[in-house]
């Protein structure tokens, strides 16, 4: 199962306080990414060997007088495994629904997943994705207590907001005060019996 939580730290923004996921480039990944869609995967001064060693793509771009086009960037995962959101409910407590695998694309994985996005407090959200057809062991809260207790959110005081698309399913958490993206999932989601892959990217200028 996949679970992670987000907390808005008062001095900077978002902190991922708990996570259990494996991130890797899928076999469907490609470095053929439009210049305008490149997401920076490196750091100032990174070279090609260091970039590729951390699983990123490298392609120099000469026509870039402003220096804003990253040469080291994330691969595209277009054509990978995708899910669609169905039978969902969105209310003051969060988002709940079922993710259904797009088997027509030839993707493999669990056919149905349970999705829970819980608005735990004014500055804390929890995302939980599990197998919809079978129970799986997870660490009991008696061992690792929840950091906050769930509550019915008050929209006027919540520091973050949620956007999502139904097909293919993606979601974005952003800060209400300035609209800055805190977490954004990509279309590609691999959820197999012993392998999970969730793809995301982070703006290099983000204050996280």
CATH number at residue 48: 4.10.110.10
More confident residue, 111 or 75: 111
Res. 62: pLDDT tops 50: yes
- What residues contact residue 72 under an 8 Å CB cut-off, 6+ apart? 40, 41, 42, 46, 48, 51, 56, 57, 58
Same domain, residue pair 70 and 87: no
Same domain, residue pair 93 and 121: yes
Residue 126 lies in a domain: yes
Same domain, residue pair 99 and 188: yes
Same domain, residue pair 160 and 71: no
Which CATH number belongs to the domain containing residue 103 in this structure?
A: 2.60.40.1760
pLDDT at 109: 83
pLDDT at 26: 41
More confident residue, 141 or 13: 141
Res. 15: pLDDT tops 50: no
Same domain, residue pair 51 and 69: yes
pLDDT bracket for residue 195 (50, 70, 90)? confident
Residue 63 lies in a domain: yes
Same domain, residue pair 124 and 186: yes
pLDDT bracket for residue 97 (50, 70, 90)? very high
pLDDT bracket for residue 129 (50, 70, 90)? very high
pLDDT at 196: 82
pLDDT at 17: 38
Same domain, residue pair 102 and 172: yes
Mean pLDDT of the chain: 76
Residue 42 lies in a domain: yes
Residue 142 lies in a domain: no
Side-by-side strand order, sheet with 83-91 = 13-20, 2-9, 124-131, 112-121, 94-101, 83-91
Same domain, residue pair 192 and 157: yes
Count of the separate structural domains present in the chain: 2
Q: E-assigned strands of 92-159?
A: 94-101, 112-121, 124-131
Domain that holds residue 90: 83-135+153-201
Residue 207 lies in a domain: no
Same domain, residue pair 167 and 113: yes
- What residues contact residue 20 under an 8 Å CB cut-off, 6+ apart? 1, 2, 3, 4
Q: What is the mean pLDDT of residues 42-59?
A: 87
Same domain, residue pair 71 and 88: no
pLDDT bracket for residue 139 (50, 70, 90)? confident
pLDDT bracket for residue 146 (50, 70, 90)? low
């Amino acid at each position: 199962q996949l679970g992670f939580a987000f907390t808005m730290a008062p001095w900077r923004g978002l902190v991922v306080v708990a996570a259990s996921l494996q991130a890797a480039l899928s076999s469907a990944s490609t470095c053929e990414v439009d210049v305008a869609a490149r997401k920076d995967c490196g750091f100032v001064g990174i070279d090609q060997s260091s970039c590729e060693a951390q699983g990123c793509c490298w392609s120099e771009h000469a026509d870039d007088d402003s220096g804003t086009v990253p040469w080291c960037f994330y691969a595209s995962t277009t054509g990978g495994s995708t899910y669609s959101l169905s039978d969902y409910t969105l209310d003051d407590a969060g988002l709940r629904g079922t993710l259904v695998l797009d088997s027509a694309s030839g993707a493999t994985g669990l056919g149905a997943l349970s999705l829970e996005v819980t608005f735990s407090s004014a500055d804390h959200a929890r995302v939980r994705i599990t197998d919809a057809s079978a129970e799986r062991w997870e660490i009991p809260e008696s061992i690792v207590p929840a950091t906050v207790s769930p509550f019915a959110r008050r929209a006027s005081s919540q520091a973050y907001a949620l956007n999502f698309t139904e097909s293919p399913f993606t979601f974005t958490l952003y800060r209400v005060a300035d609209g800055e993206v805190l977490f954004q999932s990509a279309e590609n989601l691999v959820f197999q019996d012993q392998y999970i892959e969730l793809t995301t990217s982070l703006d290099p200028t983000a204050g996280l």
